[in-house]
Structure 1
Amino acid sequence: MLNFGAFFVLVYVAAQLLPSSIAASIMALAPLALAGLAWPLLAQRPTARWAVGAALGLAGVALVVGLGTGAVPLAGVVASAVALLASSLGAILTTRWKDDTPLLATTSWQLTAGGLALVAVALTVEGAPPTVDATGLAAYVGIAVIATALAFVCWFTGLRHLPAGTVGLIGLLNPVTGVLLGVAVGGESLAPPQVLGIVLVLVSIAVSSRTRGRNLPPQGERSDPAQRRYDRIDT
């Protein structure tokens, strides 16, 4: 419910209430939330190198999305902030409670459980879903398979191999990707502050990626073949 059920609903509520720049800026606080929760729950203490990367990354996101907006609905800010905290806590607990169950299985069951819960709530509150055409169906498939299933497999894989704060910093590529897609697909243009912001985000990831102390189990507990391959590569 933290990773998928509550998170998806709150994200879409925030998207309807907030300008995209404000929503992206709030979600850009994910590195701070993840690192703050990982310290007491996973014993992953933030390093000075990570702090420098986080500061650069947050500054970069502010330049990329811009903050020049009018009145901001409080309900949208609350929805976005709660979504951020729910997702961060869910990610940390998924890492804390991991076992030898394969990553694809844990991700699939979480998606299934969260989806079934949302279906039950949606049917109760909104009734049957609207009819969609072929284009809408293709969009649903793309969102479900690529933007959700594949994305969360990558997300949880990163949490198995990297400190939570570092994974959060990599997530700062979200607004960067959105801006670059706007340029490539929508014919938009980049302002100089946005270019500087993208550079700062990339630098922040490069700085934090050198942080040591990956959250790996002891050698004897690494029974997952994918984990063993990763260990050999890391060694």
Structure 2
Amino acid sequence: MLVTALAPAVWGSTYLVTTELLPPGRPLLAGVLRALPAGLLLIAITRRLPKGSWWWRSLVLGTLNIGAFFALLFIAAYRLPGGVAATLSSLQPLIAAGLSAALLGDRLSLRTVLSGVAGVAGVSLLVLRAGARLDGLGVAAALGGAVVMATGVVLSKRWTPQAPLLATTGWQLTAGGLVLLPAALLVEGPPPAHLTGANLLGYGYLGLIGAAFAYALWFRGIHALSPTSVTFLGLLSPVVATALGWLALGQDLSLVQAFGAVIVLGSLVAAQTQRPRATATATATEVPAAPAAPAVAEPRPAAHRPPVHH
């Protein structure tokens, strides 16, 4: 569980890296360069390609977890204040809990529901600002992003490939990057003709650390833990992002935000300390599951707006 928690903690640094190192206004390009090179690198290292049904399953999961997820949160980031988008994205544990009950037969307990509601409340206190405007399309996109991410996590638990973890990680990162590439070219145009050393450092960090390393930990966690437990760990991202903004960028941190962070951590602990279902131990010895969505959405790289996370 602690190893899995490293993944959303790493993803919490995405806002800092994006605002300080990457070209402005290119979140979809950042998503492509974060996923596609990392996926191709893992495929080259493992020398494994999908077989049989895993060609279309990798495409489905890569689209849900990366391609469609990043595209929807890109829309939400540009049509909603960051705090509104992050608060809506924090519904993911509740959605994953409902899907797990429907598709995997997991029990939906009152403790899980209350922990999920507390998590949403904590994130809203942490990142939501007074007077935030609402936009219908932006709200629909943020909710859609939460749904596709939760669906990707649950399906990744249900579909267990007979292949090494790094190989399945590479398949889905590559599929997600390829799905996202046309949208990035259509919306943002071709990549910048000149990239600075800082830009290359930022893209390298997002690809090697934020994708290849962190996603492998996240996907391993999906295999060992329940989908609900994994998505609750994703609530660490806005906490880490806010802490890094305060420490590295000198952003204000109010008592209300600190209280919200405490609520988020409390909901996370409450969700993780439930008695596991009987089949959890058995599934922990199987082959690692396929990848799931990143715990963090690509935020709009504007330093004056709060980070968009899920």
CA distance in structure 1 between the aligned counterparts of 2:174 and 2:117, rounded to whole angstroms: 36
The match for 1:155 is: 218
Aligned AA for 1:53? S
TM-score (norm 1): 0.85
Contact 1:7–1:87 under 8 Å retained in 2: yes
Unaligned runs of 5+ in 2: 1-62, 290-310
The match for 1:139 is: 202
The match for 2:109 is: 47
The match for 2:26 is: none
Shift of 1:150: 2.6
Distance 1:117 1:70, change over 3 A: closer
User: Which residue, 82, 85, 92 being the options, matches 2:147?
Assistant: 85
Contact 2:81–2:133 under 8 Å retained in 1: no
CA distance in structure 1 between the aligned counterparts of 2:83 and 2:183, rounded to whole angstroms: 29
Unaligned runs of 5+ in 1: 228-235
SS of residue matched to 2:240: helix
User: Which residue, 135, 140, 165 being the options, matches 2:228?
Assistant: 165
Is 1:113–2:175 an aligned residue pair? yes
Name which one, 1 or 2, has greater alpha-carbon Rg. Answer: 1
Distance 1:126 1:70, change over 3 A: closer
CA distance in structure 1 between the aligned counterparts of 2:134 and 2:186, rounded to whole angstroms: 30
The match for 1:193 is: 256
Moved more, 51-60 or 203-212: 51-60
The CA deviation string for residues 156-198 of structure 1, in whole angstroms up to 9 with x for no partner, is 2222122212222211112111111111111123211111111
Aligned AA for 1:170? L
Contact 1:34–1:89 under 8 Å retained in 2: yes
In the TM superposition, what are the counterparts of 1:1-235 in structure 2 within 5 Å?
1-123=63-185, 128-131=190-193, 132-213=195-276, 216=280, 218=282, 222=285, 224=287
Distance 1:128 1:52, change over 3 A: closer
Contact 1:50–1:166 under 8 Å retained in 2: no
CA distance in structure 1 between the aligned counterparts of 2:217 and 2:225, rounded to whole angstroms: 12
Shift of 1:69: 2.7
SS of residue matched to 2:65: coil
TM-score (norm 2): 0.66
Counting matched residue pairs gives 225
Contact 2:80–2:133 under 8 Å retained in 1: no
